[in-house]
Amino acid sequence: MTRPTWAGLSVGVAWRPPTIADAGEARARLRPSVTTAGALRASTEVPMRRHRSPVRQLRQWPNGQRAGTAGRCAARAARRLPFMAVTPDPTSYREAIGRFATGVAVVTCDGPQGPSGLTTNAVSSLSLDPLLLLVCFDNTSRTLEAVRGAGRFAVNVLAAHQADLASVFASKREQHEKFAEVTHRVEHGLPVLDDAIAWFACELHDLLPGGDHTIGLGRVTAVHHEPQAAPLLWFGGGYRAIG
């Protein structure tokens, strides 16, 4: 027995309800093949631009001068890479270290040619046991030679009103001219400046190389200080006072 022709069925074909297999075949007919899908993706995908690393960009534009993202990446890479670091010049270093405020001292010594002295702010306490301090001498300093020969020196810490005296001992004037500008006395065989707010008598412990300076280590044998006196300071390339 046959049924009338309906949509999707032929006359003379026995009718049966649709099955799960029929549904699978229908989906397969609607699904594109692997070849078709690959061709579709190839026709619709936009080619991606290859991104270069900041290091490669840096080789091409070492100063990061190219506009846009590449230039910014190169500039950031230059800041991160250690081989791009620039050593500061002496002027920049002196300006920066000048922001570190220090006291001002005159180092004195009684050498074969008479008393000798220089102004310095490179003085520091080094040890309490034993009592040691250090002073840095310019390698060309005449006072360094006097200290080397005498084997001892004194450190005179200047008061706030002694900026002119500091300038005198910082000059290249003859040593006898320097000491003519200041009253001083002898303590423990060393010239000590009057009005210094503190002084330290030292036996030379050692002399060490330090670039264009020599580091003098002194073993402290005597000290004196004025508790209420205000110190002279060195800051920003000039003499200062507290307050």
Is the confidence at residue 84, as pLDDT, over 60? Answer: no
Q: Are residues 174 and 79 in the same domain?
A: no
pLDDT band at 55 (very low <50, low <70, confident <90, very high): very low
- 121, 165 contact by CB (below 8 A): no
Domain annotation covers residue 14: no
Pick 168 or 82 by higher pLDDT: 168
- Its domain, for residue 190, covers 95-241
Give buried/exposed letters for 71-88 (b at 16+ CB in 10 A, else e): eebbbebbeeeeeeeeee
Q: Are residues 184 and 73 in the same domain?
A: no
Side chain identity at 57, as an amino acid letter? Answer: Q
pLDDT tens readout for residues 191-233 = 999 999 999 999 999 999 999 999 999 999 999 999 999 999 9
Q: Are residues 184 and 204 in the same domain?
A: yes
Is the confidence at residue 107, as pLDDT, over 50? Answer: yes
pLDDT tens readout for residues 3-54 = 444 444 444 555 566 666 666 665 656 555 555 555 445 555 555 555 555 4
- For residue 29, what pLDDT is reported? 62
Q: Are residues 80 and 100 in the same domain?
A: no
Quote the CA–CA distance of 11 and 229 in Å, as a whole number. 125
Q: Are residues 112 and 57 in the same domain?
A: no
The token duo for 18 is: 């649709």
Q: Which helix (H) or strand (E) holds 17?
A: none
Side chain identity at 122, as an amino acid letter? Answer: A
Taking Cα atoms as reference points, which of 123, 153, 147 lies closest to residue 219?
153
Enumerate residues 6+ apart whose C-beta is below 8 A from 188.
154, 201, 221, 222
Domain annotation covers residue 73: yes
Residue 134: CATH number of its domain: 2.30.110.10
Number of domains in the chain: 2
Side chain identity at 214, as an amino acid letter? Answer: T
Q: Are residues 125 and 208 in the same domain?
A: yes
Q: What is the mean pLDDT of the chain?
A: 81
Q: Are residues 158 and 62 in the same domain?
A: no
- For residue 10, what pLDDT is reported? 47
Q: Are residues 203 and 228 in the same domain?
A: yes
Domain annotation covers residue 108: yes
- For residue 201, what pLDDT is reported? 98
Taking Cα atoms as reference points, which of 118, 103, 207 lies closest to residue 154?
118
Q: Report the greatest alpha carbon distance in the chain.
A: 143
Among 86, 109, 135, the domain-final residue is 86
Query: How confident is the model over 121-150, as a mean pLDDT?
Result: 96
Q: Are residues 126 and 228 in the same domain?
A: yes
Quote the CA–CA distance of 47 and 223 in Å, as a whole number. 82
